[in-house]
Amino acid sequence: MTVEEFEEFYAQTVTRLTGQLFVMLGDLHEAQDVVQEAFVKGWGRLRHLDRDGAPEAWIRTVAWRLAVSRWRRLRRSGIAWQRSGAPPPAEEPGLESVALVEALRGLPVQQRRTLALHYVCDLTVEQIAGETGLSASTVKTHLSRGRATLADRLQDPRIEEARGE
């Protein structure tokens, strides 16, 4: 099958195949997804598609198998959720967390990323330099400036009151 023949085949059959899979699956969006994915797979085997003698049947079969694979994957993940149970409810963030996130948002992107890599991901200066492509001295500068900015923005009012400020 040539590229032109495939394009003509697609134009003539995509609507019909989508309708057929919609009836089989009961979900239009799922039918559209699997039919499109089946056509992509068919595109990869243009030379063999015509030899089969029934390219429409091949696309329909592949689309059906894709849908079945998706169902199995969903069922397996559902079973896994049932076994492990629902995750415990997350606690609402405290005022400190909200203040920290807000202060971090005010930092330049590179400083924020560097601080997160260092304090959240527990990476060394050398590891951060390797991951970001920055020099070690630039990483240290970002860490120093980020910490200084956060220290200014996150001053505890209770400490200021104790100092008499």
Tokens 């694979």, residue located: 69
| Distance from C-alpha of 70 to C-alpha of 64, rounded to nearest angstrom | 10
| Distance from C-alpha of 50 to C-alpha of 72, rounded to nearest angstrom | 30
The per-residue pLDDT for range 45-69, each reduced to its tens digit, is 877 777 557 888 888 989 999 998 8
Tokens 């409810």, residue located: 89
Least confident piece of the model among 34-38, 119-123, 143-147: 119-123
DSSP 44: T
* Predicted pLDDT of residue 158: 58
The per-residue pLDDT for range 131-158, each reduced to its tens digit, is 889 999 999 999 999 999 888 888 766 5
* Predicted pLDDT of residue 103: 82
From the number of C-beta atoms within 10 Å of its C-beta (0-12, 13-18, 19+), residue 41 rates as: middle
Q: In the predicted model, what is the mean pLDDT of the chain?
A: 83
* For residue 17, pLDDT beyond 60: yes
